[in-house]
Amino acid sequence: MAVSTRPTRRFRSVLAALTVSTALLAGACSSSTSDAPATTAASDGSFPVTVVSGPTDSGTDITIESRPQSIVSLSPSATETLWAVGAGDQVKAVDNQSDYPAGIPVTDLSGFQPNVEAILGYAPDLVIASDDMNDLVSGLQKAKVPTLLLPAATSIDDVYAQIERVAKATGHEDKGTEVVDTMRSDIDAAVASVPARQQPLTYFHELDSSLYTVTSSSFVGQIYSLFGMKSIADAAGQGDYPQLSAESVVQANPDLIFLADSQCCGVTAESVAARPGWSGMKAVTGNQIHVLDEDLSSRWGPRVADQVKAVAAIVAQVPAA
């Protein structure tokens, strides 16, 4: 897998790698496919189909000859998407970091260190992963198993495109269109529910207690930008996920602080307020430190709309200047 600069919970545990992932801190467990939640089994697509594998705008076309019946997902975002588009009953195994929706067939397969032999043990006719680690694609090609790569989305439109790709690849194009249309409607309504401000709110989105954060151009930052918000890290000049000093955060004095490291690492509003020099910051004195759901803020998939709605609810209650 090519190294990405999109941090998630794996980023917090392996900062130097900056590897695209989700929920490495969640415990792996196993279940059978009989435990999987019910899904819509309708097939509205005809095969063979050709879809883009890799980045939406520069990937490689792959052909899927027939409707997949034994899918392996090595990405939590892809797993959520598969169930959202109605392909859950076609999934035989998901990786050890997938944990949503409840009852999915979790295994000890890894998307970070994929083992082709272990994957082939599930007799897959389609494998979906975020990146090509450990020669995953070439290994599966030798076994004539198509691999659909869905790397970290770079925008909400990219999320929509990936959902539509998964839907097409699995024979659920109509459902994929429905999911995307619902997301668009929900996001538009969430944004419209928050009045525009004369002065943009500023924020610090904490990825971990080492003060890695996001800029407005990052995927997470683009969600905040829907509400006219600006990251205090925009001038850091360190890419989309810079590390700030405590002094620079205090000096920037953001209106809001978002914590994406509470569930994993126990960071709380109280512990942030107790940091040296932080007690007088606007976000602290105004009670504007907000704990985020780490999965919603780190995964790209159908629940992005839920993240937008969560941010809308927070921003709507911030008093006008």
- What are the domain boundaries of the chain? 25-172, 193-316
* Residue that the structure tokens 């009045």 belong to: 195
CATH dotted code for 193-316 = 3.40.50.1980
**pLDDT for res 50:** 97
pLDDT band for position 35 (50/70/90)? very low
Fold type of domain 25-172: Rossmann fold (3.40.50)
What pLDDT score was predicted for residue 60?
Answer: 96
Which pLDDT score is estimated for 21? 35
Q: Do the two domains 25-172 and 193-316 of this chain adopt the same fold?
A: yes
C-beta atoms surrounding 98 within 10 Å: 29
**Residue among 45, 70, 42, 40 at smallest CA distance from 165:** 45
Q: How far apart are CA 179 and CA 199, in angstroms?
A: 34
Q: Which amino acid is at 13?
A: S
Distance CA 227, CA 33 (A): 41
Measured distance CA(160)–CA(177) in Å, rounded: 9
Work out the pLDDT band at 188, boundaries 50, 70, 90.
very high
For residues 121 and 34, what is the distance between their CA atoms, to the nearest angstrom?
18
**The predicted structure's pLDDT at residue 146:** 98
pLDDT of 238 higher than 70? yes
Binning pLDDT at 50, 70 and 90, where does residue 44 land?
low
The rounded percent of the chain whose pLDDT value lies above 70 is: 86
Query: What does the mean pLDDT of the chain come to?
Result: 88
